[in-house]
Amino acid sequence: MSGPRLFIVVVVLLVVLFAISLALKSRTQGQPADPEQTPWAQNLKAKLLGDTPVDPSEIESDCLVDNGTAFAFTGAGAVCQALIRGSSKPVRTMDLVPVRPATFSVHFEPDSADEQAIPLSIRTVTADKPAELVILTHGGKLTVTSLPPSKTARLKIE
């Protein structure tokens, strides 16, 4: 290939690559950059954190119903305490999802043996904004309070 032809091919390739990059940029500009939505980020999170849910047998509470998959409350202001026992798994997750229209406040106090863990308090947990807890090896104490106006309420453990 002669010099001028090679120059034209290179220029055409650069123009094509520039057009592709502009198209990709305009396509992704309208989308929020949320790494939690990408499959590779979810896979990486699962590998690093271990996306293992707390087993119902690891929860000890008088408020448990439905084979340990939900907490039941009678009356606004009702308080339920649960002990999350230790596990051989380094990291576990627990999602607390209220059954509509109930709302709750949640406080988790990790066991003092888990030095990296910090207490967590969530003032309002609703069906639209469930609580997502990360529980380390030694577990901890969970306190859930039913907020008014619900007379009876249910909080699912997922």
What is the chain's alpha carbon radius of gyration, rounded to the nearest angstrom? 25
Domains by residue range for the chain, with CATH: 3-49 (no CATH), 52-157 (2.60.120)
Tell how strand 140-146 and strand 79-84 pair up: antiparallel
Helices (H) and strands (E) in the chain, counts: 2, 11
For residues 41 and 106, which has the higher predicted lDDT (pLDDT)?
Answer: 106
pTM attached to this predicted model: 0.69
User: What integer pLDDT is reported at residue 15 of this predicted model?
Assistant: 84
User: What integer pLDDT is reported at residue 84 of this predicted model?
Assistant: 97
| Overall average pLDDT of the 71-86 stretch | 93
| pLDDT tens digits, one per residue of 30-75 | 555 554 556 766 666 666 655 689 999 999 999 999 999 999 998 8
Cross-strand bridge partners of residue 109: 141
C-alpha–C-alpha distance, residues 1 and 122, integer Å: 69
C-alpha–C-alpha distance, residues 86 and 138, integer Å: 4
Question: Average pLDDT of the chain?
Answer: 85
Residue 16: is its pLDDT beyond 70?
A: yes
